[in-house]
Amino acid sequence: MVDKPAGLMVHDSKLARGEDDFLADRLREQLGRPIFLVHRLDRATSGCLLLAFEREAAGALGKALMGGEVEKDYLAVCRGWPAEAAFTVDHDLDGGPGKPQKKPAVTRFQRLATGELPVPSAGFETSRYALLRCQPQTGRFRQIRRHLKHLSHHLIGDTSHGDGRHNRTFRMLGVHRMLLHAERLAFPHPDGGRVEVRAPLDAQFRKACDLFGWSP
């Protein structure tokens, strides 16, 4: 497992738009050996990224991922306060650009904390925000981000599916990243046993939490 920083693409793709700096290339150069990615994280997402040194191990882990044997926990900050402390979004999503076919997409959410900022919003004197734990049960393109948009609880810092007004508020307060972090992975090791790994929050995400006195 590696702790991917926010803002770095995992590998080259159609979304790279001329970029030439990728995490996979950095690791291959640093380690001097091939690596095989088991899954992906968006450029703006930080945290746990699973990889393998052997093709067979990557295949076994990929099979476990497809079979629902891998647990993935993310932390996110969204606009508004979701009404329920725990809820599930079951909303089909397409595969992204050039892939219009919709497929089942399910994400479980848990509201961990709520807070307000003294910034007027929608006729109210304050703006409300929530810290969520997100557990995607499927692996669709930008699934958590798009499910939060579907709920109108947009992810803070998301420039594609978020709310620009709230993104600007956080930028003015010194938070300049998308607030989605892959905090935890638990998976069956190809050689036996179960492994659990965690990635700490970076300084920017902690700064956002400090605005509300949250301690995730």
Count of alpha carbons within 13 angstroms of residue 187, beta-carbon side: 28
Spot the catalytic one: 42, 73, 158, 163.
42
Is 158 tagged catalytic?
Answer: no
Q: Cα angle vertex 159, ends 19, 47, to 5°?
A: 70
Q: Which strand (E) or helix (H) includes residue 63?
A: helix 55-66
Please give the distance of CA 85 from its chain centroid, rounded to a whole number: 20
Q: What sections of 53-201 are H helices per DSSP?
A: 55-66, 143-150, 164-172
Q: How many CA atoms lie within 13 A of 113 on its CB side?
A: 15
Enzyme catalytic residues: 42
